[in-house]
Amino acid sequence: MAAAEPEKPKVPEEPVAKQPEALEDMFPDVDVPHLSAIVKLLDNLGMNVEDIESVDATPYVRIYVAGQEWVVMNDTEADGYATQSAEDSLEELGTEGLNITWKDYVTNEDDFETACIEQLDNYINDIAEEQSKEPDMFPSRLEEEMHYADVADRDSFLQYLIEKAVPNDDYVQWYIDEFGDEAFMGLAALDTEGIAKYIVDTDGRGSVISSYDGEEVELSTGYSAFRVN
């Protein structure tokens, strides 16, 4: 009869992160979907629940683990947080250096239309005082130009000049062409929320939220994590 093989020593199992059900008692202010995301983050980091130093659920879920600080969010939270952060940066740092077509985000188009009309109206006032090149036919340059524009009165001539100067009703572009980018930025009121969304869409949410490495860690739970220290 063959001798019985000696029992192999048991290899201790590696610790695994506790499931959300076990974490609910530890962090009652955090809902189950966020807890599931925390579990997945710990797995990605090769850490366990014992490494958690604290969790803050207000206003977004933050986990402090092994000296690291992470924000854990669903898509709605991440989109809102990133957009607001980008908007705050715009207000604090301004728009200099951003490669954006600013005219697409102007909210005060009427001011540019007013500037155009005032400019052309001043032009009419000026030429009304100037002598015509054909003084025998026209008492002033205004009368001369109205004649060749085939209009009968000042208001019609103003409308003629507007249509000629701004054929596509793009008063913003007219202003830029007439006075330059610096003057345009001085007059423009910009849609900072729209610009912020553009920045987030172009550069990614991680570039705005993660102050550590600019990265977004997508978790299989449908949530994302961002390291902020």
- pLDDT computed for residue 12 by the predictor: 56
Residue 5: its pLDDT value, please?
A: 61
Q: Which of 60, 43, 42 is nearest to 52 (CA)?
A: 42
Same-domain status, 119 and 64:
no
At residue 90, the pLDDT reads 87
- Domain membership of residue 196 (yes or no) is no
Looking at the domain assignment, is residue 208 inside a domain?
yes
Copy the structure tokens of residue 135. 């003084």
Mean pLDDT for 74-82 is 94
Phi, psi of 78 (to 5 degrees): -65, -40
pLDDT for the residue 21: 61
Answer yes or no: do 171 and 209 share one domain.
no
- The reported pLDDT for the residue numbered 127 is 96
pLDDT score recorded for residue 13: 58
127 shares a domain with 88: no
Both 127 and 159 in a single domain?
yes
Do both 40 and 83 map to the same domain? Answer: yes
Look at residue 222 and tell me whether its pLDDT is greater than 90: no
Same domain flag for 127 and 185: yes
Is 25 domain-assigned? Answer: yes
What pLDDT was estimated at residue 6? 61
Higher pLDDT among residues 1 and 173, named by residue: 173
Q: Which two tokens stand for residue 217?
A: 């860690």
**Same-domain pairing of 115 and 48:** no
Considering the domain boundaries, does residue 15 fall inside one? no
**Total structural domains within the chain:** 2
* Averaged confidence pLDDT in the chain: 89
The predicted structure's pLDDT at residue 45: 93
Q: Decide if 79 is inside a domain.
A: yes
Least confident of 21-35, 69-83, 138-152: 21-35
Measured CA distances, 108 to 7, 103, 186 (Å): 82, 10, 12
Portion of the chain with pLDDT greater than 90, in percent: 75
- Containing structural domain, residue 71: 20-94+204-227
Q: Given CA atoms 216, 40, 45, 30 in this order, what sign does their dihedral have?
A: positive
Residue 82 lies inside a defined structural domain of this protein:
yes
pLDDT tens-digit profile of 35-60? 999 999 999 999 988 899 999 998 89
What are the tokens at 128? 């009304």
- pLDDT at site 58: 85
- Secondary structure string (H, E, C) spanning 117-179: HHHHHHHHHHHHCCCCCCCCCCCCHHHHHHHHHCCCCHHHHHHHHHHHHCCCCCHHHHHHHHH
Do 30 and 67 lie in one domain? The reply is yes
Q: Indicate whether 60 belongs to any domain.
A: yes
How sure is the predictor about 91, in pLDDT bands with cuts at 50, 70 and 90? confident
Q: What pLDDT, on the 0 to 100 scale, is given for residue 131?
A: 95
172 plus 222 within the same structural domain: no
Q: What is the pLDDT of residue 26?
A: 86
Would the pLDDT of 73 be above 90?
Answer: yes
Mean of the pLDDT values across residues 138-164? 96
Is residue 99 in some structural domain? no
Q: How confident is the model at residue 24 (pLDDT cuts 50, 70, 90)?
A: confident
Q: Does residue 114 share a domain with residue 169?
A: yes
Q: Which of 36-45, 85-94, 119-128, 167-176 has the lowest mean pLDDT?
A: 85-94
Length of the chain: 229
Q: Could you tell me if 36 and 74 lie in one domain?
A: yes
Pair 153, 216 in one domain: no
